[in-house]
Homo-oligomer: A and B are copies of this chain.
Amino acid sequence: MDVPHSSSNAINLGRLATDIGFLLRLAQVKVYERYFREYGDRHIKPGEFSVLWAIAHNPGVRQNVLCQELIIKRSHMTKLVRSLEDRALVSRRVPDEDRRGVELTITDKGQTLVDEIAPWFFAFEDCLGEKMNATEREKLKAQLLKFIASETED
């Protein structure tokens, strides 16, 4: 198996070069770098968009459910949601049925932003790994989904 840098570089990473954790980190850093290189001036971060998108597709979703689904810590979600609320992109409502919780709904302004962002956000996704062919990209996604499933509910 070909390892990263093996052809162009003097350094020997040994087993680390095929460590799944290491490879996942490299892959994510590459995506992150490219996102900010190409869309850094768009002023929306991947984490923010994922929350906004999830609320848009699940009106009235409870904040706690978002935490579980997107694997974001509660304390961090509080900040993310507040930031979105400060920009009038989402609204919060305390339901009478259970006044401990908060229901989140996207605003018209938020929906307009999602409609504007989603095309290029997912176009970016389609470009990732563009030097692989479509079949290989789908294989990678499928293997990642299996991996995540195998590491869930242990």
Contact = CB atoms under 8 A, between A and B. Distances in A.
A140 B57 CA distance: 30
B129 A58 contact: no
Contact of A14 (B20, B30, B53): B53
Interface string A16-43: 1011111111111111001100000000
B11 A122 contact: no
Interface residues on A, range: 35 or more
A92 B47 CA distance: 39
A9 to B, nearest CB: 6
Interface in A115-143: 118, 122, 124-125, 128-132, 136-143
Contacts of A34: 151, 154
Interface of A: 1-5, 9-16, 18-31, 34-35, 46, 50, 53-54, 57-58, 61, 65-66, 69, 71, 118, 122, 124-125, 128-132, 136-152, 154
